[in-house]
């Protein structure tokens, strides 16, 4: 009994120490994001992280405790072997999450959650996120951690003195005791005997959000996200529905679509939407072509992306629907098919729809979203020759944009009386920023942006040389921003500021628009300018109407923000902690807007 008890506590301590060391590893790896922190801060991280680490260690140790129960009745050597196999499998998972989570946090800005399984379903896209030497480094780190922990485990836990008790009555007594000891692990697992259960928000303790993130156990974060309803309205219910609607309507006036301003030379222009991967306003120096073109049309100089991932960004642009903190409408076809889409609206007007992308359209269920939007003609990675799709993500941007330009011009020449809506999604300015281009920028991200920008310039210039230009508008918008320069927190507004523009021969005259706005405002104003219904987009405003309230809303992982010209509110949704701002009324409006978004989704 004594030897089993010692083995049990050693096993428990092994996992607790491993999870505590993970905190120090996270701080070391993310030192650029951590900022100026002290030894005291590090100790506080470990102390506040302890309950969450204790919870995960309890789940693992509970299985070990049941093995000790069985060891009272079966051959101890067999149980020891099973224990070693179980521990090796769990250790491999823990170390994999530890290394992987640290590898992506620097540019994702958040810990792994259940969305990681979406990526793991597409191994090609996972491999494309890094270059070969990074994968080798990650593999070496994994092996070092796994071997080192495995060595400590084998040296620390000794089964040699654990023997099978000969007396049946003693076995029965010990079995009851071990079942009771194992059952006590329920308390640290749950974290409380009240209705409140263990959650990641419990480890938050500082106004420095990175210290809170350091305290989070990434394995628990994944488990917690798996247990959550993807679109849990209760999690985002802060007030009565009536009050939330009233506060939201103060941002979105009922008469916002009564103002009309003729901005297009024709009411039914051909439309090209170019979605630029990760173009951030912090990198404007790397976008000379975009900035040159923006000055020729309607340039929105104070715009923000609605979210932080491509799947969210596409929905925000084409459906004018705001992003959510932990969910993606595109990945759930039963929800996304109920969204309005610009493609649907234009198809009803006789437009022919085309989509161009050098990557895999099945990633994040993009195909189903596009088909629901009326895009029957989709040119994706498999439609390019193998030699043209040798980049990490598929076909490079110059190849995709050249093909789109060629086909757009050919269609207009053959069928000049038809109207077309073409969507082009770029990909080369995505991690790992491996592009066939060398610029004056040493930073890999800036170099990739400069490459895509050069491709964009060539694409637009080719359209300008064709008669179709006079009847065409080109909408330019990123899918989301990017955390450049390094060190920008995931919730920082600088992470979400983007350049947006509407250019083309069908734009009547250049127009600078300094109004604070969002990418969800872009599609409705295009449809409104064409005399089409914009009321289907309940969270958008008419940014060409100066009488409307200026604001932008964006969601980051487990949080959201509301920006006005006067103030900014940033909320951590997990802990409901204010990360920035102290305007109580704006805080209420931010919560109301977030609640109304989730209420709308709940109706789908």
Residue 395 belongs to domain with CATH number: 3.40.720.10
Question: Which residue, 227, 260, 284, sits at the end of a domain?
Answer: 227
Tokens of 328: 């993606």
How do beta strands 568-572 and 559-563 pair? antiparallel
What are the C-alpha distances in Å from 79 to residues 73, 171, 430, 572? 10, 16, 48, 45
pLDDT at 122: 67
Residues 457-463 have a mean pLDDT of 98
Asked if residue 511 and residue 429 are part of one domain, the reply reads: yes
Give Dmax over CA atoms of the chain in angstroms. Answer: 96
Residues 232-255 have a mean pLDDT of 93
Asked if residue 412 and residue 532 are part of one domain, the reply reads: yes
Give all strands of the β-sheet with 552-556 in edge-to-edge order: 552-556, 559-563, 568-572, 577-580
Asked if residue 84 and residue 45 are part of one domain, the reply reads: yes
Most confident of 1-15, 210-224, 232-246: 232-246
Residue positions counted in the chain: 604
| Residue 130 clears pLDDT 80, i.e. is over it | no
Q: Do 143 and 137 meet the contact criterion of CB atoms below 8 Å apart?
A: no
Which residue's entry shows tokens 């450049």? Answer: 484
How do beta strands 497-503 and 298-304 pair? antiparallel
Q: Do 274 and 476 meet the contact criterion of CB atoms below 8 Å apart?
A: yes
pLDDT 10s digits, 93-107:
999 999 999 988 887
Of 591, 559, 600, the residue nearest 238 (C-alpha): 591
Asked if residue 117 and residue 261 are part of one domain, the reply reads: no
| Better-scored residue on pLDDT, 207 or 462 | 462
Asked if residue 272 and residue 223 are part of one domain, the reply reads: no
Residues 55-75 have a mean pLDDT of 85
Phi and psi at 333, nearest 5°, equal -55, -30
Domain annotation covers residue 233 = no
Asked if residue 259 and residue 203 are part of one domain, the reply reads: no
Query: Nearest-5° angle of CA 569, CA 483, CA 277?
Result: 110
CA dihedral 551, 554, 560, 565 (to 10 degrees): -20
Domain annotation covers residue 207 = yes
Q: Do 48 and 205 meet the contact criterion of CB atoms below 8 Å apart?
A: yes
Asked if residue 247 and residue 216 are part of one domain, the reply reads: no
| Residue 36 clears pLDDT 50, i.e. is over it | yes
Q: Do 602 and 335 meet the contact criterion of CB atoms below 8 Å apart?
A: no
pLDDT at 567: 97
- Render the burial of 352-366: b for 16+ CB within 10 Å, e for the rest: bbbbbbbbbbebbbb
Q: Lowest mean pLDDT: which of 162-176, 225-239, 396-410, 555-569?
A: 162-176
* C-alpha span between 66 and 58 (Å, rounded): 12
Phi and psi at 371, nearest 5°, equal -65, -40
Residues 362-377 have a mean pLDDT of 89
Cis peptide upstream of residue 432 (ω within 30 degrees of 0): yes
Burial of 212 (0-12, 13-18, 19+ CB in 10 A): buried
What's the whole-number average pLDDT of the chain?
A: 90
Q: Do 211 and 205 meet the contact criterion of CB atoms below 8 Å apart?
A: yes
| Residue 195 clears pLDDT 50, i.e. is over it | no
Query: Residue 139 belongs to what domain range?
Result: 2-227
Domain annotation covers residue 334 = no
What are the C-alpha distances in Å from 572 to residues 191, 201, 303? 22, 9, 22
Domain annotation covers residue 449 = yes
Question: Which residue, 227, 253, 268, sits at the end of a domain?
Answer: 227
pLDDT at 164: 54
Asked if residue 264 and residue 163 are part of one domain, the reply reads: no
Domain annotation covers residue 381 = no
Which pLDDT band, with edges at 50, 70 and 90, does 126 fall under? low
CA dihedral 441, 444, 449, 455 (to 10 degrees): 90
Most confident of 65-74, 171-180, 463-472: 463-472
* C-alpha span between 233 and 600 (Å, rounded): 10
Asked if residue 162 and residue 27 are part of one domain, the reply reads: yes
Asked if residue 286 and residue 218 are part of one domain, the reply reads: no
Asked if residue 211 and residue 307 are part of one domain, the reply reads: no
3-state SS, 452-492, equals HHHHHHHHHHHHHCCHHHHHEEEEEEECCCCCCCCCCCCCC
| Residue 167 clears pLDDT 60, i.e. is over it | no
Residues 557-570 have a mean pLDDT of 96
Give me the number of domains the chain comprises.
2
Question: Which residue, 176, 202, 227, sits at the end of a domain?
Answer: 227
pLDDT at 89: 96
pLDDT 10s digits, 22-32:
999 999 999 88
pLDDT 10s digits, 398-428:
999 999 999 999 999 999 999 999 999 999 9
| Residue 574 clears pLDDT 50, i.e. is over it | yes
Which pLDDT band, with edges at 50, 70 and 90, does 229 fall under? low
Domain annotation covers residue 138 = yes
Of the CA atoms within 13 Å of residue 16, those in its CB half-sphere come to: 16
| Residue 316 clears pLDDT 70, i.e. is over it | yes
Tokens of 340: 């309005």
> Can you list the positions of beta strands (E) in 330-465?
352-357, 377-379, 420-425
pLDDT 10s digits, 482-527:
999 887 889 999 999 999 999 999 999 999 999 999 999 999 999 9
Domain annotation covers residue 337 = no
Asked if residue 165 and residue 94 are part of one domain, the reply reads: yes
Residues 282-309 have a mean pLDDT of 97
* C-alpha span between 342 and 50 (Å, rounded): 49
pLDDT at 488: 87
Domain annotation covers residue 306 = yes
pLDDT at 272: 98
pTM of the model: 0.82
């Amino acid at each position: 009994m004594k030897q089993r008890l010692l083995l049990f506590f050693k096993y428990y301590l092994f996992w607790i120490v491993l999870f505590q060391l993970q905190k120090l590893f996270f701080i070391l790896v993310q030192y650029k994001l951590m900022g100026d922190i002290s030894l005291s801060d590090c100790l506080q991280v470990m102390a506040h992280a302890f309950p969450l680490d204790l919870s995960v260690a309890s789940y693992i140790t509970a299985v070990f405790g049941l093995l000790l129960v069985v060891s009272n009745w079966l051959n101890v050597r067999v149980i020891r072997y099973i224990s070693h196999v179980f521990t090796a499998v769990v250790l491999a998972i823990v170390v994999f999450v530890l290394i992987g989570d640290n590898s992506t946090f620097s540019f994702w800005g958040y810990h792994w959650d259940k969305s990681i399984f979406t990526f793991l379903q597409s191994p090609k896209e996972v491999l494309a996120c890094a270059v070969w030497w990074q994968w080798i480094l990650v593999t070496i780190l994994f092996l070092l951690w796994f071997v080192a922990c495995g060595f400590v485990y084998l040296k620390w836990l000794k089964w040699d003195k654990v023997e099978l008790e000969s007396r049946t009555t003693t076995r029965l007594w010990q079995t009851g005791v071990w079942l009771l000891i194992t059952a006590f692990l329920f308390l640290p697992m749950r974290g409380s005997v009240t209705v409140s259960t263990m959650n990641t928000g419990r480890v938050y303790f500082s106004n420095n959000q990175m210290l809170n993130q350091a305290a989070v156990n990434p394995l628990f974060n994944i488990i917690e996200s798996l247990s959550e309803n993807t679109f849990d309205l209760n999690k985002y219910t802060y007030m009565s529905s009536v009050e939330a609607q009233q506060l939201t309507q103060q941002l979105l006036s009922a008469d916002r679509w009564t103002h009309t301003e003729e901005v297009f030379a024709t009411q039914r222009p051909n439309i090209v939407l170019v979605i630029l991967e990760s173009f951030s306003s912090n990198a404007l120096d790397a976008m000379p072509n975009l900035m040159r073109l923006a000055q020729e049309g309607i340039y929105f100089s104070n715009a923000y992306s609605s979210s932080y991932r491509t799947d969210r960004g596409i929905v925000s642009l084409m459906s004018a629907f705001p992003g959510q903190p932990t969910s993606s409408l595109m990945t759930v076809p039963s929800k996304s098919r109920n969204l309005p889409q610009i493609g649907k609206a234009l198809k009803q007007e006789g437009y022919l729809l085309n989509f161009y992308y050098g990557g895999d359209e099945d990633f994040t269920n993009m195909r189903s979203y596009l088909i629901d939007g009326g895009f029957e003609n989709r040119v994706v990675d498999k439609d390019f020759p193998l030699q043209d799709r040798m980049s990490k993500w598929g076909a490079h941007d110059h190849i995709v944009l050249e093909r789109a330009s060629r086909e757009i011009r050919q269609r207009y020449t053959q069928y000049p009386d038809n109207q077309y809506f073409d969507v082009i999604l770029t990909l080369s300015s995505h991690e790992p920023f491996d592009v066939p281009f060398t610029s004056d920028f040493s930073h890999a991200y800036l170099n990739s942006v400069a490459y895509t920008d050069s491709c964009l310039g060539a694409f637009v210039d080719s359209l300008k040389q064709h008669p179709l230009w006079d009847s065409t508008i080109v909408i330019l918008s990123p899918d989301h921003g990017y955390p450049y320069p390094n060190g920008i927190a995931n919730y920082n507004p600088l992470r979400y500021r983007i350049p947006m523009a509407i250019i083309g021969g069908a734009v009547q005259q250049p127009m600078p628009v300094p109004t604070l706005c969002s990418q969800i405002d872009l599609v409705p104003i295009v449809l409104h300018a064409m005399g089409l219904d914009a009321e289907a987009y309940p969270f958008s405003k008419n940014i060409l109407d100066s009488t409307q309230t200026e604001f932008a809303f964006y969601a980051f992982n487990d949080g959201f923000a509301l920006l006005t010209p006067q103030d900014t509110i940033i909320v951590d949704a997990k802990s409901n902690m204010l990360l920035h701002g102290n305007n109580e009324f704006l805080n209420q409006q931010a919560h109301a807007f977030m609640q109304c978004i989730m209420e709308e989704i709940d109706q789908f």
